[in-house]
Structure 1
Amino acid sequence: MSTVVDTSSRASGHLHHSYQTHPRQLVVLAVETLTADITHFVFGDPAGRVLTSYEPGSHLIIQAGGKRNAYSLVGDGVNPRHYGISVLRHGTGGGSQWLHANLGVGSTVLVEGPRSLFSPDPAARKVLLVAAGIGVTPVLSHARAAARWGRAAEAIYIYRSGAAAHLDDLRILAAEGHLDLHEAVGKQAGIELLRQRLHLQPLGTHAYACGPVDMLETYGAEGLRAGWPSNRLHVERFEAPKQDAGSAFRVKIASTGEFLSVGPGVSLLQKLLDAGHNVANLCRQGVCGECRIAVRSGTIEHRDLVLSEEEKSTNTTMLCCVSRGEEIEVDI
């Protein structure tokens, strides 16, 4: 478990309370059941003040029992009076289950952020928004922002019957003329719809997708097959594909000269934490970017899904939760 450091003493450096992103308490304003397994939670400032604005596709980090989890915000991000997240309950005893079991109106939670890893490109002439399952949450944020600013938008929503959270919200945006909405029930219908719509987009379109691993892999492959540049196929991931254990390697800590041996199936992040180095981390899957560290030398085997190809090619940074290498020297 990561330790949340209370940095509230630094908040005085902000010009206004609505710039705050440090760990702080918010109150639960509303709880709404969307489907049998998805619940919508609304948070607000205890004093009723405006919250920190955010880019579409941003997430909030919530202390959910003994875990820090990231959840996508569903609003357009402009001068929000509240934050809304929708959480799929996983029956594994994790953060999502804790939220469902413990939060009610009036409860308080410790949050950090908002933070952005899935923001829109302002140069896009149009946005194609692709969602499957609970991946609708950051996509809805993009759709609402496009509606606010009058940007051309199209949405594809792939869902199982009876499990379509926020479908009514997307349909309302479509009925109001803010976006073209295409729906598909089931995986195969979704693949066929995705393939069709990727081929019909005008030049200058940027696509943004969120959903299960297999859907995102299909989206990427079909986009490239349709001639899309890879830098216009944006992805938000909640989980990463499984990877092999990798080979053992050694790491030198530049500041101390200390050497660490990292065995197969063991992450560099865990070895650093065990050695007493305080490295920020969250997902431990290579999809959030929290554990990025500087590299002075050595060969990096990048396994993350965050760094761009350009960033990887510099050989100066890595995500230590999943990436490995050979004779690496790092700055901590």
Structure 2
Amino acid sequence: MRIEQASPLIKRFTLQAADGGPLPAFGGGSHIIVQIPAANGLLHNAYSLLSSPFQLEQYQIAVRREEASRGGSAFMHAHVAEGDILQISPPNNLFPLHATPGRHILLAGGIGVTPFMAQMEELQSSGAAFELHYAFRSREQAAFVDELAARYGAHCHFYDAARGQLCNVAGLLQHMAEPDHVYVCGPQSLIEAVQQAGAGQGIPPAHLHWEQFSASTQSGEAFTVVLARSGREIRVAAEQTILQAIETDGAVAVDCLCREGVCGTCEVGIVEGEAEHRDQYFSEEEKQAQNSLLICVSRAKGRRIVLDL
């Protein structure tokens, strides 16, 4: 493993298989889940693969040091060293490119640029039309700007907020042609701006794609989860998700591909109690029905909830 400082807050980790062999194939937009030992138990953090899908001798991920880290990014920055062994999952892709004769318009905010780096490798290789619009708070805090400019040139457009350069999302979408697709990854405010502009301009929802690089705030009041099939009770701390508490307990195995409330793989039925839904997966009607929840982000409304596990 190699580690380099991509910006004051971002490190790039280059990973290779322990046996030196090729790694599993992946497509642009894929992520892996890294197992991270932390003070509050084993964490499972998802990171986009930013390396080329055509070079399977290595994977690259970028980790931003978060001020309110639950332990994952802090551990990766402070304790992981070159030569260490990390346990990772096979790649999963919840943010793939879509076939189109039109343009691929990529909108990135901050660390949200990472999935687009692998996607641009695919797009350039296939000769597809694409453009990257990358917004960041300041040039000093941004990562990969010089690298992207050198490799993709006129395909890239950069917006440095510290210099008053703002990305006009509505203006960009005004020039969309019928076959074009838009992809956005970054903070919720950027995703919402794209959604609102797309709706206002009548862009088909099937042509708007987004990936939120971090889930909504996960903290809240502590509560107890009861596993209905065994009667086992698990305490979920204020800064912990149900998924993390169950994984730490180890009594049952649960699957989750995204850990951000978007893919639905960790949906679990509610036997008793109500959920505070924090996902992007269920419709409002489904949330109000209180039949199930996504344990990677949602919480109990009260002090106790019984789940079909």
Could you tell me the TM-score, scaled by structure 2's length?
A: 0.76
SS in 1 for 2:88: strand
List alignment gaps of at least 5 residues for structure 2: none
Report the counterpart of residue 38 of structure 1 in structure 2. Answer: 10
Return the letter of the residue paired with 2:20. Answer: G
The answer for the alignment partner of 1:81 in structure 2 is: 57
Residues 100-109 or 81-90, more deviating: 100-109
8 Å Cα contact 1:129/1:156 also seen in 2: yes
The 3-state SS of whatever aligns with 1:168 is helix
Cα distance in 1 for partners of 2:227, 2:83 equals 49
CA shift at 1:291, angstroms?
A: 2.0
2:81 counterpart letter in structure 1: G
> 2:131 aligns to what?
154
Cα distance between partner residues in 2 of 1:107 and 1:84: 15
1:43 CA drift (Å): 0.4
Q: Does 1:142 align with 2:119?
A: yes
* Aligned residue in 2 for 1:223: 198
Q: State whether residues 22 and 57 of structure 2, in contact with CA within 8 Å, keep that contact through their aligned partners in structure 1.
A: yes
* Structure 2 residue aligned with 1:198: 173
AA aligned to 2:160 is: V
2:71 matched residue in structure 1? 94
Closer/same/farther in 2, CA of residues 316 and 140 from structure 1, 3 Å limit: farther
Deviation for aligned residue 1:278: 3.9
Asked if the contact 2:45/2:259 (under 8 Å) is kept, the reply is: no
1:67-113 alpha-carbon deviations (Å, 9 max, x no partner): 22111110242351100011111244621121122223222111112
Which structure has more relative contact order (CA 8 Å, sep 6+)? It is: 2
Per the alignment, residue 172 of structure 1 pairs with: 150
The counterpart of 2:90, out of the listed 113, 120, 124, is 113
The 1:294/1:123 distance shift into structure 2, 3 A limit, reads farther
State how many pairs are aligned. Answer: 295
Q: Could you say what secondary structure the match of 1:208 adopts?
A: strand
Match of 1:322 among 290, 295, 298: 298
* Residue of structure 2 in register with 1:12 after alignment: none
Segments of 5+ residues of structure 1 without an aligned counterpart are 1-27
**Structure 1 residue 223, shift from structure 2 partner:** 2.2
| 1:53–1:79 contact (8 Å) kept in structure 2 | no
Counterpart CA distance in 1 for 2:250 and 2:114 is: 38
Cα distance, 1:37–1:300 mapped onto 2, change above 3 Å? closer
Match of 1:51 among 9, 14, 23: 23
Query: What is the CA distance between 1:114 and its match in structure 2?
Result: 1.1
Secondary structure of the 1:108 match is coil
